[in-house]
A and B are shown apart, each in its own frame.
Chain A
């Protein structure tokens, strides 16, 4: 992780945001991210993000649950401690359906939520740079990373021309760190910017 320079444009209306996203992309700039107060459908496509495959993780975790439940109950009742219950079969698959189902759901849900937290870097005490405090309230905050050749002035003008209400430049840590939201932290003594 390192400090980077970002140009930040804030939009008040998603109707202005969508054409702006297209124009900024067409001009060839690379989005760092767009922060929105709620899920804006179609924005991921407009930004050129690929679909998430988190549901696949859910399926795999679910399969782990199913397998664990069936193999464990089979082992217990046929190998480890077979009990004669009125001469009924020890391998009583129909009676195990409820527990197998519950364990499948449990593993899928827990696994998926943990995967979600891991890939989105979400956890208690995790802190990320807030580009605009109203990004979780009513602003759509477009953040564009400045590369070596990026002309900051040109980008600011572009953002203003496509309808951004507020444009500024920020130097910030791009990833996450362990920190408190009520305190400003000096992460680096000397910003290492080209």
Chain B
């Protein structure tokens, strides 16, 4: 039964339960103040172990050279660049949630934006490792930067998409970090002011930069967030566009196509949302945040997944159509002989099943709101998106223009796999630390939407409903008076 006469049945609340501001703080901050659970420790140690294995794998690659991997003259990119594109793609969902949904005024972003932004930062950190260590002589990585040097000075080639990537990824990382941390300042101050132990008060005091909650500061903070969102929106689109240029500007069949930028961006958002789902479903369960990350949030994200999954599906079909329509024999061979068939055909069909067919199940509202099904789908989608990059890279490269250099089967070494597992270690180590030491939900933003949604909104509405027109007009008049008040200084 509804409390009010005119209750909208369309929107479900963003925050469940009739909560006060104090309860919101308590619900979100108490995990920072409590000792971590046993599950947290297990997860953390497993992540650190993976990270150490990754460090050792990278150590072997640096010391003994790129020969530790099975990449060869034909399949020069292999697992390494597959992983790079996969991780960068995952990062995109965080920026989409925090920036694009802010510009579109989507209230539901407040429940998930903080953790999604953290995910972005950690994913970009993982992604960056791959091209850097793929250089082989990693100690020369700084050669990509345009600094005055003793070799001429010799400058990097600003016309090269690989250099664009250096600028795009580093800018993306920096801007995401600034956006995330400026949003964190008020919430870190909340933790600081609640802290009971001296050490916590001191450390959060440093981390919160002396934030006080002044109205003027909030006003600037909101303006800053809005402009950063406005900057991040084209930035996030540019980053994956530039990543796709790494492929699209080459003359390799299967890569040399103008559909790549939108196709890559849609795929990035698709896989990113899947990763957000994986993390959020665990987070809300472990930290008991079901009131803040509701089924409504999960459903909204599943809608994005089915949309972007369908865009990706269209792109796959368009590629096949264009290969036939272009009448270029090389394109046709790559797609129809070596990609959907041939020794790597299985990876193509795995990709098709995971990315195009299975997300269509999300047209059903029942499945969109099923937590277990969503969790399984989020893993399926990420496997599918990993194989998408694998298919693009390996199936375009293993049979190139020169049949004598054809490589029949490419299989990664343990150190190549170890590097990939190591980035999982890095990602989850960072995420576990984040979930322990930082507010995983944007506290101030939740408080801001609290009274415009859910139970407290309904309570307000019922008092408003009982008012008559005269009272309303009287109030309006009062507000008008207040606006034009003359201030007399004492």
Contact = CB atoms under 8 A, between A and B. Distances in A.
B482 A105 contact: no
B36 interface: no
B2 interface: no
A167 interface: no
Interface string A170-182: 0000001000111
A132 to B, nearest CB: 9
Given A22-B482, A37-B213, A133 B194 contact: yes
Nearest to B451: A14
Given A36-B215, A123-B210, A182-B201, A110 B174 contact: yes
A64 interface: no
B303 to A, nearest CB: 28
Interface of B: 20-22, 25, 146, 152-155, 157-159, 161, 163-164, 167-168, 171, 174-175, 178-179, 182, 185-186, 189-190, 192-194, 198-199, 201-202, 204-207, 209-224, 226-228, 231, 234-235, 238, 242, 245, 443-445, 447-448, 451, 478, 482-483, 485, 487-490
A135 B213 CA distance: 7
A136 B238 contact: no
A12 B185 CA distance: 22
A157 to B, nearest CB: 15
A136 B190 contact: yes
Contacts of B204: 181
A103 B193 CA distance: 38
Nearest to A34: B215
A26 B25 contact: no
B168 to A, nearest CB: 5
A101 B234 contact: yes
Contact of A181 (B202, B216, B445, B447): B202
Given A28-B489, A98-B167, A36 B213 contact: yes
Contacts of B174: 106, 109-110
A193 interface: no
A138 B167 CA distance: 42
A126 B188 CA distance: 14
A145 B21 CA distance: 27
B238 A102 contact: yes
9 contacts: A37-B21, A39-B444, A44-B216, A46-B482, A81-B152, A83-B157, A99-B167, A137-B21, A181-B201
A141 B218 CA distance: 14
A109 B175 contact: yes
B448 A105 contact: no
Contacts of B231: 58, 62, 105, 108-109
A48 to B, nearest CB: 7
Contact of B210 (A81, A102, A128): A128
A55 B448 contact: no
> Which 6 pairs of residues, A with B, have the shortest CB-CB distance?
A181-B205, A126-B210, A138-B21, A28-B488, A22-B482, A122-B209
Among B154, B163, B201, B217, chain A packs the most CB atoms within 10 A around the CB of B217
A182 B216 contact: no
B181 to A, nearest CB: 8
A85 B153 CA distance: 18
B199 A182 contact: yes
Given A38-B186, A39-B444, A134-B193, A113 B224 contact: yes
Contacts of A108: 227, 231
Contact of B193 (A47, A72, A122, A135): A135
Nearest to B160: A95
A164 interface: no
Among A96, A101, A127, A150, chain B packs the most CB atoms within 10 A around the CB of A101
Contacts of B214: 33-35, 120
A135 B189 CA distance: 10
Contact of B205 (A33, A43, A182): A182
B227 A58 contact: yes
A49 interface: yes
Given A39-B444, A105-B235, A52 B192 contact: no
A147 interface: yes
Contact of A101 (B185, B238, B444): B238
A63 interface: no
Given A28-B490, A38-B186, 19 more contacts: A35-B215, A37-B186, A37-B444, A39-B219, A44-B218, A49-B216, A52-B219, A54-B224, A55-B223, A76-B146, A76-B155, A99-B163, A102-B171, A102-B235, A113-B224, A120-B221, A123-B209, A135-B193, A137-B193
Contact of B206 (A98, A124, A130): A124
Contact of B228 (A112, A138, A176, A180): A112
B213 A35 contact: yes
Contact of A47 (B190, B215, B238, B245): B215
Contact of B219 (A49, A109, A141): A49
A99 B201 CA distance: 42
A72 B146 contact: yes
Interface string A73-89: 10011001101010000
A138 B22 contact: yes
